[in-house]
Amino acid sequence: MKKIVLILWTALIFNFTYDIYQSLLKTDYTASYGYGSKGSTVITIQTKLKKWGYYNGNIDGIYGYQTYSAVKYFQRKNGLYPDGIAGPKTLAALGINVNTASVTTNESEMLLARAISGESRGEPYIGQVAVGGVILNRTRDPRFPSSIAGVIYQPGAFTAVSDGQINLPAADSSKKAARDALNGWDPSGGAIYYYNPEKTTNKWIWSRPVIKVIGKHVFCK
């Protein structure tokens, strides 16, 4: 009799434990990001923290020590528990809704528009789209980061980042140019570099094979 009772209790405990395990598997943990996390939401976290002066590292979509430290700094400054984990409360404070898939896409488009605006102000419209094309071409080239934010914020890559113009509102034409570039129009002809001969003294960039000239920019391989 005792053995039967023991077997029944064991089965009951097993079923109870199994049910808890299954519920944990079904729980959505994507709303928390910490050390080692990767992906588009991490890029959004880094972009916002950098914009607000909390983060000085590369925007690469990798939740490393610098991102962890920046999140802790942000949390301390905003009355949140400083654990360095971007959970629901921290994400909400950052203005990130991980349940809205369009957030990252829209922010990437606006970031591209601001880069185009800062890099090609005064250029003809086709030249603005071409600058967007170069940025997107780099995301597909293994020598560069694979995300728009990663390419734009790669150290020393763009003057607009160095002089702070990346943080200024994008011109309407740049917003349209960003959309056209994202939709596949590439007037640069597949270029991954461009430069203004009137302003560039870098001998290496002058050595790159030229594809075409649009406005004041030379687009090259």
Domain harbouring 64, CATH code:
1.10.101.10
What is the enclosing helix (H) or strand (E) of 3?
helix 2-26
**CA–CA gap between residue 132 and residue 140 (Å, rounded):** 13
Residue 183 is assigned to a structural domain of this protein: yes
pLDDT of the chain, 221 residues: tens digit per residue:
655 545 545 544 444 443 433 333 333 334 588 877 887 788 889 999 998 999 999 898 888 899 999 999 999 988 889 989 898 889 888 888 765 434 455 778 889 999 999 999 999 999 999 999 999 999 999 999 888 888 898 888 999 988 989 989 999 999 999 999 998 999 999 999 999 999 888 889 999 999 999 999 999 99
Angle formed at CA 141 by CA 135 and CA 146, multiple of 5 degrees:
70
- Domain with 122, as residue range(s), is 102-220
Q: Does residue 7 lie in a domain region?
A: no
Q: Do residues 106 and 195 share a domain? A: yes
- Does residue 10 belong to any structural domain of this protein? no
Q: Are residues 55 and 141 in the same domain?
A: no
Residues 117 and 157 in one domain: yes
User: d(Cα 50, Cα 32) in Å, to the nearest integer?
Assistant: 19
Specify the DSSP element, H or E, that contains 66. Answer: helix 65-77
Residues 61 and 159 in one domain: no
Non-local (6+) Cβ contacts of 36 within 8 A are 63
